[in-house]
Each structure stands twice: as structure tokens, then as C-alpha cells.
Amino acid sequence: MASQSKTKPAKEVKAAKAVGAPRKFKMYINGEFVEGHRRAFFPVYDPSTEQVIAEVPDADEQDVNRAVAAARAAFDSGPWPQTTAQDRGRILFRLAERVRKEAASLANLECRNSGKPITEAEYDIADVATCFEYYGGMATKVLGQVNPVPDNALSLSLREPIGVAAQIIPWNFPLLMAAWKLAPAIAAGCTCVLKPAEQTPLTVLEFASYLTDAGLPPGVVNIVTGFGETVGAPLVRHPDVDKVAFTGSGEVGKAIVKAAADTLKRVTLELGGKSPNIFFADADFEAAIDGALFGVFVNQGEVCSAGSRILVEKKIYPKFVEAMSAKAKTIRLGPPLERETKMGPLVSKDQFDRVRAYQEIGKKEAKTAAGGGRLASQSKGYYVEPTIFYDVDNSARIAREEIFGPVATVIPFDSEANAIKIANDTQFGLAAAVWSRDIFKAFRVVKALRAGIVWVNHMQPTYVEAPWGGYKQSGFGRELGPNGIDEYLETKQVHINLNEQPIGWY
Ligand code: ADP
Ligand code: MG
């Protein structure tokens, strides 16, 4: 996918400067804020105004090499390998405290850079702090094991950090995705090179300025800004990187697995979805309508777990489509900094074009109940209407391909078995939800769904305490919860002989 900086000519950067100079950021390598060796920068936009708000270093492979060397050195020598789990926990608590202190300005920056409503940006920043606290506590709860071997010996399983982690994140929850990656890695004792998405690097760079104060030694966390091919790809193939953690598109996820194979890096992937949100006729109707709307339109639908396939039992189907569409038309779209706003613009011109194209495909493939275009009342900004297609066949492109925007497809079903079949008929398996007052039915469906996260009678609440990740082509590995730190640990088996003589033949 073409990046914004490639589609916008450099001239526009200068034009925007006349309006109000964009803030120039540096990236963070080996404990210092630096420019790339080429001293090149790329523009970063406010998607609600289409104005350039910042310029960020346009790094390349040489800068990646410098960051990986710093992370490698910090892992292999220096103070980091000597820190205790308590030390690492305290660093994470200090980071959480700092994030809470700076929450208002971080939320403002997140809102302006990503286009998400300010109230949702505030939730995200609070979650960032919670994530650092959670893994701060977990640092001292990583346990090994004594294995019951049948000899006079002590067999131990020790947990040790994997090493240097390359962490590549998307633009939909910019600082939160960084927290999900950095917090467990720091708790485990790894070192990191993190690449934010080119569209939304600002809050992560702001956050980098807290690291030294929190007591993190140089090189433990490095932030390199740039594009997928010029920064992401060199990171993934770098021989000194031990692990890659990626959140993003399936297409890039597959490329990462192939590239990581050469050096057999550990890889964890959190990719897309086309998650079913299943409504039985016995569900609470009002709650169901709200759950369907929130499930698919929260964060402008730019959510990997968006409930974009809304499966509705035929008995309530016409009433459901009508009520959902009527309420969708009342959702307040507008400037993301206004507190009443429920949906802001999409993150970028690329994403806007992509979602608009799917709206046109949808109009040909199904019937339109709400939306279908850009928001007419805004002349600037990448606003699109919350869009609902109904009578959608599960084989339609709008039901199979991840759109990553506010486009819902409503699909009728006539039985529990039929609902399960449609729900599982997808290459993805990230999330699903089921709505019913019948706990036995709901749980039968939960067990039959091939998805890593299943909600019952709500959709989207996400907790740092509980594992997050996908089945099938939605990726592998788990973030958050106790599972999240496992992905940054190796297991070392140690066997201590308690006999005078070693075991064996002589
Ligand atoms: P989208 O197309 O929605 O932006 P991507 O999967 O392309 O989603 O992007 C997610 C992250 O992956 C971004 O940080 C992006 O720069 C990065 N990325 C893109 N291409 C590559 C690649 N070939 N190797 C590594 N990282 C990449
Ligand atoms: Mg892409």
C-alpha cells in the first residue's frame, strides 16, 4: 500500500509550514534522540484537517543497524542483564506513573494524529498505563519449574529472555500497541527495537522521552521511524534480532514469516479479522442494537477485532436491520477533539480511498441500509459515513475481506447450526461475539467458534489481564495476560546431578 508521504509531494510540507510550522521530532536510539543518518524526514498528518502536523526521521537500513547494534549490546553486556526482576518491575511502574501524569497531552496528540475521538484516545492512554502496571507486577512473578526426573538429580526449567525483539505496530491504537509490545518485553528482560506505523509515530516518540527518567539503560528500548520496506523489512531480516512481534495486515504478516525463516526467528503475529457478531432472537433487543453498532463502528471500525459480519436470526432480522440503521444515522461524526464526537475521520488518505472503494463494491454486492459515502458535511478530512449493508451473502467480497473501516455487513441465519457454519466460514479467527439470554445455547456456540477471543452479550471490551490473539489466518502467539510475557521468554532446562558419580557408562 502506498504511504502518505509518497502520495503527497514534498511541496505540501512547505505549504503547511506557512500555516503553522509542523513540529520536528527525532527518533530514539541508544538512549538519545537522533536524526537518521541521511537527515531525511517525512510528513505526518492530522487526518481531520489533512494538514501536516509533524515531521519525523525517514530512517533506512543503516539506522536500523545502529538501533539493532544498540539493542544487542544492551542485551549482551551493560547493566541490563544484571537488573533484577524487581528493578524491571519498578521501571515499568515509573513509566505507568509518567503516562498517567502526561495523559491529557498524550491523548490530545493521539487524537490529532490518528483521528480517533478524544474520549477514546483518553481510554487508550489509560490502558497504556494499566499495561505497564500489569507487566510491572508480572516481572517478579515469572516462575521456573522443578521437573520430577527419576534420578538423584535436580531438574530445573528456567525462564530467560529471548533477546533482541523487533516490534512492528500499526496505526489504529498507536501508543497502546507500543505498550502491548514493550511492557512484556521489558518485564522479561529483553531489549527492543520498535517501529511505529508511518502514519502515527508521534505518541510513541513523545513516550520515548520518559524512558531515561524511568531508569531504563540506553539501548534497551529503541524507536526507529520510517516505512515498511525501508525500516520494517531490514529489521525482520537482521541476523542479530531474535524475535519479531508484529501487528498489522495479513499480507505483511506472511512476508514477515517468510523473511524471518532464514534465521529462524521467533515470530508472533496479530493480523486481521472478519469477526462475526451473532444475534439470536432471544437476545435483549436494545442491548443487541447497541452492541452491533459499537462492535463494528468503535474507533471508526479501524479495529482488528471489529464485528464486521453481523449475523442475525431471521425471526428478528427485518426489525434488527431497521433499528440498527436508524441508530447508525444518529452517530455523531465530527472533529475528533470535540468531546461529543463518537466517530472521527479515517487515519489517512490511503485508508479513506480503500474504505470508499469497498463502499462501492458493497453497493453492487448487497442492499444499503445506511451510509455508503463520505460525510457530506465535512469538506476536509477523511470522514466516511458509518455504512450498513444487508442481505449480504457470506461469499461476497465485503463479507470475506477485511475492510478496516466503518462498514458493516448484515447476514441472516435460520438456526444455531447455520449461524455457526457462517461464522466459521472465513479464513480469519481473531474474535467473535454471541448474544442470547440462553446460557446453554450461548456456550454451545462459544465452543464451536474457531476464534481466539469470544464475547458473550457484549463486544470489544479488552483487558490487559486476559490473552489476546487469533486462530487461523489471524495470526499466532498471544499478547496480554500471562501468555503475553511467555512470548518473550525461552525455557532453559538445567540438570544438576546429586550423585558423586555422573550418570552414564564408563
Ligand atoms: P496497513 O496496510 O493497514 O498500513 P501494514 O500491515 O502494511 O498495514 O502495516 C503495519 C506495520 O507494518 C506498519 O508499521 C508498516 O510500516 C509495517 N510494514 C509494512 N510493510 C512491511 C514489511 N514488508 N516488513 C516489515 N514491516 C512492514
Ligand atoms: Mg500495508
Question: pLDDT value at position 506?
Answer: 81
- From CA 392, how far away is CA 399, in angstroms rounded? 7
Give the tens place of pLDDT for each residue, 347-374: 999 999 999 999 999 999 999 999 999 9
Nearest alpha carbon, ligand 1 atom 21: 228
DSSP-based three-state secondary structure for 242:
coil
- From CA 429, how far away is CA 449, in angstroms rounded? 8
CB-based burial, 380-410: b 16+ in 10 Å, e otherwise: ebbbbbbbbbbebebebebbbebbbbbbbbb
Cα 335 to averaged position of ligand 1 atoms, centre (Å): 27
Cα 244 to averaged position of ligand 1 atoms, centre (Å): 13
Best residue among 249, 252, 271 to mutate for probing ligand 1, ranked by most atoms within 8 Å of CB: 252
Atom number, ligand 1, closest to the C-alpha of residue 248: 6
Ligand nearest the Cα atom of residue 197:
1
Nearest alpha carbon, ligand 1 atom 19: 228
Question: pLDDT value at position 77?
Answer: 96
Cα 227 to averaged position of ligand 2 atoms, centre (Å): 10
Nearest alpha carbon, ligand 1 atom 4: 170
Pocket of ligand 1 (CB under 6 A): 1, 168-170, 195, 197-198, 227-229, 232-233, 236, 248-249, 252, 255-256
Atom number, ligand 1, closest to the C-alpha of residue 247: 10
Closest CA to 168 of 107, 219, 234, 96: 234
Question: pLDDT value at position 503?
Answer: 82
DSSP-based three-state secondary structure for 474:
coil
Atom number, ligand 1, closest to the C-alpha of residue 253: 6
DSSP-based three-state secondary structure for 73:
helix
Closest CA to 255 of 270, 272, 240, 233: 233
- Provide the Cα torsion 339, 343, 346, 352; round to 10°: -140
Nearest alpha carbon, ligand 1 atom 24: 233
Question: pLDDT value at position 19?
Answer: 53
Compute the half-sphere exposure of residue 293: CA atoms within 13 Å on the CB side of its CA: 24
Cβ–Cβ under 8 Å, residues 310 and 410: yes
Cα 252 to averaged position of ligand 2 atoms, centre (Å): 7
Question: Crossing angle for the helix pair 416-424 and 439-448, nearest 10 degrees?
Answer: 30
Q: How many CB atoms lie within 10 A of CB 261?
A: 10
Distances (CA, A) of 37 to 34, 41, 57, 161, 226: 9, 11, 9, 31, 13
Nearest alpha carbon, ligand 1 atom 1: 249
Residue 492 burial (10 A CB sphere; 0-12, 13-18, 19+): exposed
Q: What are phi and psi of 171, to 5 degrees?
A: -105, 0
Give the tens place of pLDDT for each residue, 233-278: 999 999 999 999 999 999 999 999 999 999 999 999 999 999 999 9
Ligand nearest the Cα atom of residue 354:
1
Cα 351 to averaged position of ligand 2 atoms, centre (Å): 10
Widest pairwise Cα distance in the chain: 87
Per-residue pLDDT of the chain (506 residues; tens, 9 = 90+): 333 333 344 444 444 444 568 999 999 999 999 999 999 999 999 999 999 999 999 999 999 999 999 999 999 998 999 999 999 999 999 999 999 999 999 999 999 999 999 999 999 999 999 999 999 999 999 999 999 999 999 999 999 999 999 999 999 999 999 999 999 999 999 999 999 999 999 999 999 999 999 999 999 999 999 999 999 999 999 999 999 999 999 999 999 999 999 999 999 999 999 999 999 999 999 999 999 999 999 999 999 999 999 999 999 999 999 999 999 999 999 999 999 999 999 999 999 999 999 999 999 999 999 999 999 988 899 999 999 999 999 999 999 999 999 999 999 999 999 999 999 999 999 999 999 999 999 999 999 999 999 999 999 999 999 999 999 999 999 999 999 999 999 999 999 999 998 888 88
Nearest alpha carbon, ligand 1 atom 13: 197
User: What DSSP state is assigned to residue 430?
Assistant: S
| pTM for this predicted structure | 0.95
Ligand nearest the Cα atom of residue 168:
1
The catalytic residue positions are: 270, 304
Ligand nearest the Cα atom of residue 254:
1
Cα 362 to averaged position of ligand 1 atoms, centre (Å): 26
Atom number, ligand 1, closest to the C-alpha of residue 249: 6
Question: pLDDT value at position 21?
Answer: 84
- From CA 47, how far away is CA 344, in angstroms rounded? 9
Cβ–Cβ under 8 Å, residues 221 and 190: no
Closest CA to 138 of 183, 190, 79: 183
